[in-house]
C-alpha cells in the first residue's frame, strides 16, 4: 500500500490505450442515452457477468474499460487524458509518450 504523509495529491495524467478509450466512450454514450448510469458501475457489472460466464477475455476487456472510467471519474477536473496508439507506451518519470522505433530513456544512467 502506498503511503504519503503530505497533503499533496499525486495525480498525473490519465493514460489509456486507444481501443479502451474508444470502447469506454461508446459505452458511456450508450449508458447516458438510455438514462442509466453511472457508466463505470455498468462496466463493473459486465466484468462480473463475464467472470460468471467463464469469459476471461471479455472480463479483461471490461476490466480495462471499468478502470479507465473509474480513474477518470476520480481525478480532478481538467486532468489530462493521454491516449496511446498501438505500440506506444508512457514514461511516467519523464512524462512523455514513447513511440515505437524511438530510443527509450535509459534507466541505468545517472545525471552527473
Any bridge partners for residue 17, and if so which? 84
Q: Is residue 34 part of a domain?
A: yes
Give the rounded percent of residues in the chain with a pLDDT score beyond 70.
80
Q: Is residue 35 part of a domain?
A: yes
What's the predicted TM-score (pTM) here?
0.76
Q: Is residue 5 part of a domain?
A: no
Instruction: Provide the pLDDT for residue 101.
Output: 80
Average pLDDT over residues 37-55: 95
Instruction: Provide the pLDDT for residue 78.
Output: 87
Q: Is residue 51 part of a domain?
A: yes
Q: Is residue 94 part of a domain?
A: yes
Mean pLDDT of the chain: 84
Instruction: Provide the pLDDT for residue 77.
Output: 85
Instruction: Provide the pLDDT for residue 75.
Output: 87
What total of structural domains would you count in the chain?
Answer: 1
Q: Is residue 104 part of a domain?
A: no
Output 81 or 102, whichever has higher pLDDT.
81
Segments forming the whole domain that contains residue 19: 14-98
Output 91 or 110, whichever has higher pLDDT.
91
Q: What value, to the nearest 5°, has the Cα angle with vertex 82 and ends 76 and 88?
A: 150
Secondary structure of the chain as H, E, C letters: CCCCCCCCCCCCCEEEEHHHHHHHHHHHHHHHHCCCCCHHHHHHHHHHHHHHHCCHHHHHHHHHHHHHHHHHHHCCCCCCEEEECCCCEEECCCCEEECCCCCCCCCCCCCC
Average pLDDT over residues 72-97: 90
Rounded CA separation 50/57 (Å): 8
Average pLDDT over residues 53-64: 97
Q: How confident is the model at residue 104 (pLDDT cuts 50, 70, 90)?
A: low
Q: Is residue 7 part of a domain?
A: no
Give the chain's radius of gyration (CA, Å).
Answer: 17
Amino acid at each position: 500500500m502506498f503511503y504519503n504523509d503530505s497533503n499533496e495529491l499525486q495525480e498525473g495524467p490519465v493514460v489509456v490505450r486507444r481501443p479502451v478509450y474508444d470502447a469506454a466512450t461508446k459505452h458511456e454514450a450508450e449508458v447516458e442515452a438510455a438514462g442509466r448510469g453511472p457508466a463505470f458501475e455498468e462496466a463493473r457489472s459486465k466484468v462480473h457477468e463475464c467472470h460468471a460466464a467463464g469469459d476471461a477475455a471479455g472480463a479483461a476487456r471490461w476490466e480495462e474499460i471499468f478502470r479507465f472510467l473509474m480513474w477518470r471519474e476520480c481525478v480532478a477536473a481538467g486532468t489530462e487524458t493521454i491516449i496511446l496508439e498501438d505500440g506506444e507506451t508512457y514514461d511516467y518519470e519523464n512524462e512523455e509518450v514513447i513511440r515505437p522505433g524511438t530510443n527509450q530513456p535509459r534507466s541505468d544512467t545517472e545525471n552527473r
